[in-house]
A and B are shown apart, each in its own frame.
Chain A
Amino acid sequence: MTNNVNDFKARLTQAGITLNEPITPAQLQTPWFVRALQAFSGWLAALFLLGFIAMGVVFVAESPAASLGSGLVMIGAAYGLFRKARSDVLEHLALAVSLAGQLLIAWAAVAFWSESAYPFWSLLGWSLLALQSVLAVVMPSLVHRTFSAFSASLALYMALAVNAMAPVVSGIVMLALTMLWLNEFRWPGRIRDVHAWSYGLLIGLLVMQGVAHIGQSFAFWFDAQNTNVFAWSGPWLNAVLVALSLVLLLFYTLPHPKIHWGLYLSPIGLLLISFYAPGVGQGLMVLLLGFAMSHRLVMGLGVFSLLMGVGSYYYWLDATLLTKALTLLILGGVLLALRWALRKWLASLKPTTKGVADEE
């Protein structure tokens, strides 16, 4: 481990980077699954805490104003705890208090918007999106930021699903995710925050894909679906946003002047794939993003998303299985032909890259 670090430092020094003496000691990063455990127990505790509030202090649950007020006070208290928290126990307590506070605010929003003339789910979605976005930025806790980013993506889904624009949300989240990863090192003091938001959005993206996969069981929520005049544009907008994410990725990570022109056609390919099989396009984009960032976990989730996308494609009702089979046959043939052409091109390029063609 120490040798690796020294090799790495030597490489940086060779590249002309002057390394300072460390100002702070090296911090060991908490593994993602420990954070997940923390969030899991925080949620579980928050649910029981909420049960306590609902039973013990009934007037809070019965009055939207009291519910809202207590929710805000609890989130404020959680903020204070997070600021002071120097131990995991306090951080944990703060998380549970904040989650219970958020549930109380959501409860107040449900009571408040249910009497409104506008679509209820849309109003609820927008208000939760605003709340979670603020919390994701403000709360000084990585677990909280991840959770809030995740909830914000689902709230946006809820807000837009009523207008039959749910497919666009995946595209918006994908674009946000790409921009976050591409700017990972832009603010050196906020690298961990960027990671926390990215993980939250990525989990949200996968959950939305899962919801789309089991699809119709949620239709009763959104009775206004398909009545919107812009409904047709949803899948297209999603495809355009996913393709735009690839354009950004190529632009920022491949500034190499000798890039083959064919690569510039890839966003168009991704656009078409994302339109006809949104899950496949999304999975591919996450996979490419993970590779570009050298992030194995993101790559693994990309493969998972890709497999889930292929599964959804089977149940896609707008085309017969015969059409799908022929599409896949042509696609498979084109991809293998592309690979063959790529190897030919690499082999003809120069001796140093020729090795790629033989390497497995």
Chain B
Amino acid sequence: MASTRRELISLIEQGAIPPEQVTRAVQSSGLRPSPRAWALFIDRLLLWLGGLALAFAVLFFIAYNWAEMSRWLRFVVMQAAMMLAVGVAIWPMTSQMVQRVALTSATLLVGVLLALFGQVYQTGADPWQLFFSWAVMTLPWVWVARFELLWVLWLGLLNLAIGLYFHTWGGPFGVLTSSDAALWGLFLLNTLALATWEWGARYWGWPRQWAVRLLAVGSGVPVTLLMMTLLVDVGLVGSPVLAVYLFWLAALYGVYRYWWPDLFMIAGGCVSSITVTTLLLARVLLWEGDWQEGSLMLISIAVLAMGAGAVVWLKRLHRELAQ
């Protein structure tokens, strides 16, 4: 879809399509979906919206604290809904798309069941165990569904579980301070997930469109925040954070420049570097020096230069990669 759009716009901009024929060119380019494509899209949309509406209906129903309804009846309603979703998924006549919708709904319902369990037995509000058990219990379904959206949802659950765990208990690793532990946990999880996904894409043909980019953001944001925390707390000193951050930047560049070219990842690395360098400059020139207007101007020029340099470089890389 995207390439048709790009080619059409490129031809119009080059003047290859005469202006008076642009409307006809758009009509015959295949850019606008055909009635058949619309039918297929509406079919899928209705299926997804319908399936998810039913799953959310159960969620809202359980969340409503209905005094007249006994706890056992609630568990029965909940489990019946889950069994129904799984039943639809394993029914032999079910198509792959319906199976995916059913398994996604079933995965959501497991979370609702665990929340109900927490509500009835008072296990605390949203503890890390809830999200962790949710992720563990739904792993088989996520595995058989072979569906990237569900994998991302599953990784989101693990992110929540790990974030909450480290936030509550601090880090089990000696070198890490407890306040940064949640960031370390998220960084390690998402980097591992990213590496696994890329490996799967390389050797097993896993789809790698938006999911790997999302995972890269999940890996880059925590490590950048760790580096920023270090700069704010103690400044630029020898620390495991500094070593990991520099290694992460180098690995990002090496992998996505040469091994599997992807400009989005390199641009993300640039944003991270610009942010960290600006903070470093601000620390050196503003908090450690005195607030002088010249320092602010200097930082402004530095940010401008870094931004412009990054854009020039990325555009050049883009041209190289496009050839």
Residues of A within 8 A of B (CB): 1, 4-5, 8-9, 11-12, 15-31, 33-34, 37-38, 40-42, 44-46, 48-49, 51-52, 55-56, 87-89, 92-93, 96, 185, 188, 191-192, 253-254, 256, 258-259, 287, 291-296, 300, 310, 314, 320-322, 324-329, 331-336, 338-339, 342-343, 346, 352-353, 356-357, 359-360
Contacts and interface: CB of A to CB of B under 8 A. Distances in A.
Contacts of B42: 342
Given A28-B319, A294-B33, A49 B300 contact: yes
B223 to A, nearest CB: 18
Interface stretch (B3-11, B193-201, B230-238, B253-261): B3-11
Given A30-B318, A56-B297, A92-B304, A37 B310 contact: yes
A17 B291 CA distance: 64
Given A12-B25, A27-B13, A296 B307 contact: no
Contact of A44 (B10, B274, B315): B274
B14 A26 contact: yes
Contacts, number: 269
Given A38-B307, A87-B312, A336-B50, 14 more contacts: A28-B318, A29-B10, A34-B311, A34-B315, A37-B267, A37-B274, A44-B303, A52-B300, A56-B296, A191-B9, A294-B33, A322-B61, A338-B50, A356-B39
B303 A41 contact: yes
Interface stretch (B51-59, B121-129, B136-144, B157-165): B51-59
B97 interface: yes
A328 B274 contact: no
B37 to A, nearest CB: 8
Interface in B52-86: 52-54, 56-61, 63-64, 66
Nearest to B99: A360
Interface stretch (B15-23, B166-174, B181-189, B242-250): B15-23
A251 B265 CA distance: 40
Contact of A356 (B22, B43, B45, B306): B43
A35 B31 CA distance: 25
B25 to A, nearest CB: 5
B57 A33 contact: no
Contact of A21 (B16, B21, B61, B64): B16
7 contacts: A34-B318, A56-B294, A191-B12, A296-B2, A325-B58, A329-B61, A333-B50
A5 B16 CA distance: 12
Given A12-B29, A34-B267, A328 B10 contact: no
Contacts of B36: 352-353, 356
